[in-house]
Amino acid sequence: MIVLSMGLNCTVQKRTAFVEVQAGSKKIKTHYFTKDSIPVIPMWALPMPAQNDSINRGFTLVENPRHASVWQPADSMEGAYNHYSCLIFHKGIFYAMWGNHRYGEDAPGQRVLYSKSVDWGKWTSPVELMPAPGPVRPRTERGIHLKPDRWVIVNDNLYAVVYVFSPGAAPYPIAICAEPGSSNQEAFLLSGLPEKAILPGFIRQQANTATQREVASMIFAWYKKNNHISWWASGNQGVDRRAVDGAELIESFSYQASDGQQIVMLRNWGTPSNPVHNNRLYVSFPEGINKWGKAYPTNIPDSPSRCQAVRLADGTILLIGNQIAPEFDKALYMNRDPMTVSISRDGYSFDRVFVLRNNAPKTFRIPGIRGRNPGFAYSSSIVREDTLYTLYSIGKEDIGITRVPLKALGVNK
């Protein structure tokens, strides 16, 4: 049994009596609750972020961060919506990919670009990794579009995994080899085509080759081996996107705690016009093989935004996101500024937090693009040679990267 009952200075309802929560395979005692009396799993052993508009929300700016630009589109024709960043280092090269569109977020025809770097701060001009899967249309219309998931290395070859979204159908994954000089750089399906789903125009209608089916199997095995799940995982991958309190959840990620337990986290969602979120992250624990139990609310604050966890060799977990909401259950929709890294020695209790980057632009260079908001968000991080590298979008317009030595976070590789 896990007892999580830190003395927290945070905006949750605390009761004298403990309750025991069966969260997947875990039994957890808590005496924190939401405003609707739903048990909260306390994982944030820190004060809540500051209520004021201070640049750092009361947190400490990490020492010696270095920032660089990966790409800034020159005009709307190049695509002034850029988001869903993914970073990896492979064979001496940093690779960055992201979603890109001319008119706005998740609009029909959203494509995937990528860029490479061998020297800090110097990135190649981006090229299409996967072109528009269908007609390029404004965000007000419906149509097929792409969202990057992550980079995967199979047989020492680099693959990009991307999910296809089409109206009225479940999203599904496709992949392409991005290895320089590869003779097999044709996108292929990683799974069957869901009912009513549309196939991207650049994928041939014929079935996958035996080699592609073998690679697909190894890609799924890579996810499992590295304790990852897709950002877009749902019921068919054992992830229930409806929490115990009825909240709708999105953008799942996972990590392995110091005791070997795999933990899944998701975020509650909402928009300024549909303020249904509660500014919390949710947590889920395994319930059988390849299945997770109903997610419970935690007291980890969220702006809201997508987060990511990086596990170090000693079991330390780095949670990179926008953990900046000063209150829960108030449906705050905040600019994603600053970007933070929260630290846990065991994966269950986050007791330190630093600001990775702050003071995001309040305006946009290129006007008229739908679905953007200020801030540094949707990060993708890796650790290389005792340094944390974090790729992210800037206002969903530009792509930037930050590096910081692990020692500045008080942790080791």
The ranges assigned to domains in the chain are 2-409
Render pLDDT for 106-115 as a digit per residue (tens, 0 to 9): 999 999 999 9
Q: Give the separation between CA 62 and CA 58, rounded to whole angstroms.
A: 13
Residues 291, 364 contacting (CB under 8 angstroms): no
Task: Give the pLDDT mean for 130-158.
Answer: 97
**Which has more pLDDT, 365 or 53?**
365
- What is residue 5's predicted lDDT score, i.e. its pLDDT? 44
What number of residues does the chain have? 413
pLDDT at 275 over 50: yes
Contacts of 295 (CB under 8 A, 6+ apart): 240, 243, 244, 249, 264, 266, 282, 283, 284
Residue from 191, 108, 117 nearest 147 by CA: 108
Q: Where are the beta strands (DSSP E) in 257-397?
A: 262-268, 280-284, 296-301, 308-311, 317-321, 339-344, 350-357, 376-384, 387-394
pLDDT at 217 over 90: yes
- DSSP conformation class of 52: S
pLDDT at 412 over 60: yes
The number of C-alpha atoms within 13 Å of 351 and in the hemisphere containing its C-beta is 13
Residue from 191, 147, 148 nearest 166 by CA: 147
Dihedral sign from CA coordinates of 311, 317, 323, 328: positive
Q: Give the separation between CA 401 and CA 53, rounded to whole angstroms.
A: 24
Ordered alpha helix ranges (H), 101-237: 210-225
Render pLDDT for 324-347 as a digit per residue (tens, 0 to 9): 999 999 899 899 999 999 999 999
- Please, what is the average pLDDT of the chain? 92
pTM reported for the whole predicted model: 0.94
Encoded amino acid at 93, one letter: I
CATH topology of domain 2-409: Neuraminidase (2.120.10)
Render pLDDT for 252-267 as a digit per residue (tens, 0 to 9): 999 999 999 999 999 9
Q: Give the separation between CA 201 and CA 252, rounded to whole angstroms.
A: 28
- What is residue 184's predicted lDDT score, i.e. its pLDDT? 63
- What is residue 12's predicted lDDT score, i.e. its pLDDT? 55
Q: Where are the beta strands (DSSP E) in 166-208?
A: 172-177, 188-189
CB-neighbour burial class of residue 213 (10 A; exposed 0-12, middle 13-18, buried 19+): middle
Q: How far from chain centre, in Å, is Cα 50?
A: 24
- What is residue 2's predicted lDDT score, i.e. its pLDDT? 46
